[in-house]
Structure 1
Amino acid sequence: MLYHKPYFREKTYLNNIRLSAKGIIDNENFNSVIIGTSMTENTSAQEADKKLGRKWVNLSMWGSYLNERAIILNYLFLSKDIKQVIYTLDAFTLNDPNLKIPNHPPINSFDFLYDDNIYNDFKVYLNKKFILCALEFSTKEYCVGNANLEKLLNWEKEYKKFFGGFDNWMKYKNEDDKQKLKNMILNAQKFSPQLDIDIEKNKQYIKTYLLSFIKAHPKTQFDLIIPTHSKLLYRILYLDPEYYNKDSILFSKYQAVLKWLILETQKYPNVKIFGFDDLDYADNIANYKDPSHYNSIMNSMQLDAIKTQTHILTPQNMDSYFKTMEEKIKNYDLNPFIQYIKNNQ
């Protein structure tokens, strides 16, 4: 729908939001947006409608950095009067904007869709996938997308068998992923947070690609959500060199950046930051399909918190919040996982 709605078939949407956000923004009626990562892809726009009012759409993009979301946000604010934004504060991009996620699409594969030139939008079709789809006159979902915008991004059903506990991970994951996870657990280091971490580059990154929108749109409410990863994630990824270099220690740097952001956003009355890491939810691995990704119960909890204005982090409560989070990570017991691995060698 880059140029018009379909003429001879129903409207459909590609689940690649980097490509399809423009058509959704241009052709759908909404005034509020969820724009996060895979951590909010399961958030129901219809549920947000009911709980928060307004008319919502979910434009979350898996693995999206702040600068990618800024491209969509800029086009969004030029196109519509946006009342409210739900936005995730993900550790990977707040900690290290230069982190390379495997299979991550390059920014030049979609940014041209959101510039002032409508003619270069056609470049999106000039690849093997869309050329073959056009030659075959295909109406398969792979080519034309899904007609249900509400279910477009939801991945929970596809991964349902992974939820329920560690034994399901070991039963259903591929051998490479299982072995990697086992190694990370067996080689996990002692949890000991670092001090005096330099976050100046992180501050500038956040000011440029997030706070600039908050400042420029004071009538738009921004609800920033800290994704509630499992405590297992923090224990096994704490110093994993494959994901974090020495300048990007997961918990310590993330905490430092978030504390700065909580203080910095006190300047703006249109911002609230929500955190759930002090709850027992993240202690229960059954709530996760892998160490990072939670089920949609958490997405609903996030909407409930925005509705009831609870779980809001402030300069007054942030120290106790992060102390509780740190203690939960430090005391998280890896022995059941280690014993399971050893018993199933």
Structure 2
Amino acid sequence: MKQEYTNKKFVKTVILLVVIMMTLTASLGYMLDPSLYYRLPKHYTYFSEAFTTAGLMKNSPAEIAIVGSSMMQNTDMDLVRNEFGQRAVKYTRSGMNIDEITMLIDRATSLEKNNVDKFILNIDMTTFNSEPSSPYDKFPKYLYDENKINDIKYLLGFETWTKFIPFNFVYNTSINFDTPITNKVVNTFSKTTNIDLMGDWSFGTQFSEEIVKSKYENNLESVSKQNIDGMYERMKQRFDKEFYPVIYNNTDKEFMIILPPYSALMWYEAEKQGYAEILFDFKKYMVTRFSGLDNVKIYDFQDYEGIINLNNYKDTTHYIPEFNDMMIKSLAVSKNVIDVNNVDTRISNLKNIVLKFKTQHKKWL
């Protein structure tokens, strides 16, 4: 009997200790808050766009949100603020697809504390040709819902305690010492102290025709292969079912949709694979569908003359930061807007640029 009592007491003691440890750990996680989920401190470091974006949505006072893939990650946020005269924040992730974009817009517009009334977002049209996927494959769902209880996954989470908090500690310790090792740590992670640079991949990136040509010829970072069987109908269906309703249901928000300036080489390859015309048709469809919404403007940079110069690229799609600057300046003055009245002309312009590119580079294409 005494042995049974001792065993029960031991179990209760262990459970109590576990509860105490979990409570202390969660409390410390709340205070340190490495993903800025509960507050925006004066000094911070961040390590994951997927985690940090959830915090920015709740705590940033911005009126403008930059949303999208690597096409938008190099956006100069100070330029956005200067051009529009409003506060701005980035919700970006490399390879962001249409499922993730719609989820982020849904989440931002549902938060009472979120002040964003203008969304600047890029559309990579081929994402409409992919199969629907869960946006929470990359984004932690428990940070993007209204359930407070499951936030414990963040406070006690693997990423929080094995990545974010340790790196945060190492960085903030290193800045107080002047040694080769600590200086290397500071230089490596200093970018993470500037939230405007989150996801920015331009630092140290080389842009040149030689690099692009080499990657293309060696099938490195090549143009994605597309399933062209039923492609147009599939793209229309996903647009109508998933993307259009999100925009339509938020008529009190302004949406500035960017069609980014991929290189002419990308369009040449799309033409070779047999889906360039499908993208042109889908662009026309998208422009027509949005023509009835006063809160939407589409800005087309696909026929920008600079796409013919491969020195502006690191591969077939990723361009120099100056292109991001050009696009923001154009948006600020409503330049390069595409609508039902000029969509055919803009498509024709792009085709002519691609034809010119093929003529100039016919020796190696």
Structure 1 length-normalised TM: 0.77
Query: Is contact 2:100–2:135 with CA below 8 Å preserved after alignment?
Result: no
Give yes or no for the alignment of 1:36 onto 2:53.
no
Which one is further off, 315-324 or 113-122? 113-122
Distance 1:10 1:233, change over 3 A: same
Query: Is contact 1:225–1:274 with CA below 8 Å preserved after alignment?
Result: yes
Separation (CA, whole Å) in 2 of partners of 1:278 and 1:6: 40
Q: What amino acid is the match of 2:80? A: A
1:252 to partner: Cα distance: 1.9
Counterpart of 1:157 in structure 2 is: 203
Separation (CA, whole Å) in 1 of partners of 2:118 and 2:71: 18
Counterpart of 1:245 in structure 2 is: none
Please list, as runs of the form range in 1=range in 2, the aligned pairs for 1:291-302 lying within 5 A after superposition.
291-302=316-327
* 5+ long unaligned stretches in structure 1: 186-193, 241-248
Please list, as runs of the form range in 1=range in 2, the aligned pairs for 1:154-303 lying within 5 A after superposition.
154-159=200-205, 162-163=206-207, 165-169=208-212, 179-181=218-220, 199-239=232-272, 249-303=274-328
Q: What amino acid is the match of 1:180? A: N
1:327 to partner: Cα distance: 2.5
Q: Give CA-to-partner distance per residue, 1:223-272, whole Å, 9 cap, x none.
A: 000011000112234455xxxxxxxx542222121111101111100111
Query: Is contact 1:255–1:322 with CA below 8 Å preserved after alignment?
Result: yes
Q: What amino acid is the match of 1:277? A: Q
Give yes or no for the alignment of 1:48 onto 2:94.
no
Give yes or no for the alignment of 1:111 onto 2:141.
yes
Distance 1:109 1:314, change over 3 A: closer
Q: What amino acid is the match of 2:245? A: S
Query: Is contact 1:12–1:148 with CA below 8 Å preserved after alignment?
Result: yes
Query: Is contact 2:266–2:316 with CA below 8 Å preserved after alignment?
Result: yes
1:139 to partner: Cα distance: 3.1
1:128 to partner: Cα distance: 6.6
1:108 to partner: Cα distance: 6.2
Q: How many residues align?
A: 309
Distance 1:67 1:133, change over 3 A: closer
Instruction: Pick one of 53, 58, 68 that aligns with 1:26.
Output: 58
Counterpart of 1:147 in structure 2 is: 193
Separation (CA, whole Å) in 1 of partners of 2:148 and 2:56: 15
1:63 to partner: Cα distance: 0.8
1:279 to partner: Cα distance: 2.7
Separation (CA, whole Å) in 1 of partners of 2:355 and 2:275: 13
Q: What amino acid is the match of 1:83? A: D
Give the secondary-structure state (helix, strand or coil) at the position aligned to 1:333: helix
Q: Give CA-to-partner distance per residue, 1:124-146, whole Å, 9 cap, x none.
A: 56447842665788434899981
1:208 to partner: Cα distance: 3.6
Counterpart of 2:108 in structure 1 is: 76
Query: Is contact 2:102–2:243 with CA below 8 Å preserved after alignment?
Result: yes
Distance 1:170 1:130, change over 3 A: farther
Counterpart of 1:307 in structure 2 is: 332
1:295 to partner: Cα distance: 0.9
Rg bigger for which structure?
2
Q: What amino acid is the match of 1:113? A: L
Q: What amino acid is the match of 2:195? A: L
* 5+ long unaligned stretches in structure 2: 1-34, 172-184
1:289 to partner: Cα distance: 1.1
Write 1 or 2 for the structure with the bigger share of helix: 2
1:37 to partner: Cα distance: 0.7
Separation (CA, whole Å) in 2 of partners of 1:312 and 1:170: 31
Q: What amino acid is the match of 2:209? A: F
Distance 1:203 1:336, change over 3 A: closer
1:303 to partner: Cα distance: 1.1
Counterpart of 2:178 in structure 1 is: none
1:199 to partner: Cα distance: 2.9
Identity value in percent:
19
Distance 1:11 1:233, change over 3 A: same
Give the secondary-structure state (helix, strand or coil) at the position aligned to 1:87: strand
Structure 2 length-normalised TM: 0.74
Query: Is contact 1:166–1:285 with CA below 8 Å preserved after alignment?
Result: yes
Separation (CA, whole Å) in 2 of partners of 1:218 and 1:303: 22
Q: Give CA-to-partner distance per residue, 1:128-185, whole Å, 9 cap, x none.
A: 78426657884348999812011222211231xx21x2224578x7xxx862259x79
Query: Is contact 1:68–1:107 with CA below 8 Å preserved after alignment?
Result: no
Query: Is contact 2:67–2:101 with CA below 8 Å preserved after alignment?
Result: yes
1:197 to partner: Cα distance: 6.5
